[in-house]
Amino acid sequence: MSPISSISAAQRALDTEPQSIDAPLSAAAAFLVLIVKDDDASIAAARSVVASTDDLVKDVRIRTDGGVFTCNVGISHRAWGPLTGKPAPSELAPFKEVRGATHTAVSTAGDLLYHIRAESMGVIIEFERLLLEAFGNSVTAIDDVAGFRYFDGRDLLEFVDGTANPDGLDLPAATIVGDEDPEYAGGSYVVIQKYLHDMAAWRSQSVETQEAIIGRTKFSNSELPDATQGQKSHKTLCTIEDADGEHDILRDNMPFAVPGRGEYGTYFIGYSRHLWVIDKMLERMFIGDPPPLHDRILDFSKAVTGVTFFAPARKFLSNLAD
């Protein structure tokens, strides 16, 4: 490779460096969803803060004990044009409501997503405080959920979550946009949903019934055989295959709870190279395969939010300041 080619390749790598999509699972997380006010001054102020997010992350990280501390920023379809002044990534669209015979994946508002991960909730709170001070009156926070690690990576339904996540070289291949959309290479599509659990109803089910619904054993996390016909498990419905093979996504779900209000849930967040993969998962869950045999986990878990974002490469974000 010639020196010029080497320099070009290095510059390309810098320009397409992803955000911290592949950060390790953490003990704590926050999911902060913001609406940007529509006036020009607010849009300009929000753009400036988004562009400087990496600097704020560094300012806070240096005060930590060296543990995990990352932040990914996602921009919605509604906010993309005003904040970036550029055409949207090829698959970016508002979250599509999925209405099945029994359950609905609702579509809700959201312009910016801050997905913050750390080993300490104190670090996350400090970062959010500084971030919201920087935004000032340019945004309105419409959701702010604190997630926590539950025992050995289980959700509050007491099953291990994220077992099917890709790793190694399969991780960027499944989550990071490549040459199929070169202007947005290094980015990732992000879908969030907040699910509230009916814990009493779930716990009234036998372990065998719970395992059949999930598709894994509860205690050993062993995969159960796929159903050949009729009612499929959550695991099977969320497995997307076509002529090109199986299509993975990265889930970084976290449990959340407010026991004093009887609120227990799972915050779903999925990162994918192709938005259609998550769309297909939700269609299979809520409509069923075959219809109307929906994912039975939905009989105990209600989706109360649903928003789609695109998390562009780091350089794209920082260039918004120009």
Residues 6+ apart with CB under 8 A from 309: 74, 75, 76, 110, 112, 113, 189, 190, 191, 192
User: For 103-117, what is each residue's pLDDT tens digit?
Assistant: 999 999 999 999 999
- The DSSP-derived string for 124-146 is HHHHHHHHHHHHGGGEEEEEEEE
Residues 6+ apart with CB under 8 A from 205: 213, 300
| Catalytic site includes residue 161 | yes
Q: Please report the pLDDT score of residue 67 as a whole number.
A: 80
pLDDT above 80 for 129: yes
User: For 230-288, what is each residue's pLDDT tens digit?
Assistant: 899 999 999 999 999 999 999 999 999 999 999 999 999 999 999 999 999 999 999 99
Q: Please report the pLDDT score of residue 10 as a whole number.
A: 60
Q: Please report the pLDDT score of residue 228 as a whole number.
A: 63
Q: Please report the pLDDT score of residue 7 as a whole number.
A: 52
Residue ranges of the domains in the chain?
A: 3-319
Is the Cβ–Cβ distance between 117 and 68 less than 8 Å? yes
pLDDT above 90 for 12: no
| pTM score, whole prediction | 0.95
Is the Cβ–Cβ distance between 38 and 89 less than 8 Å? no
Q: Please report the pLDDT score of residue 224 as a whole number.
A: 94
Of 161, 252, 279, 295, the catalytic one is 161
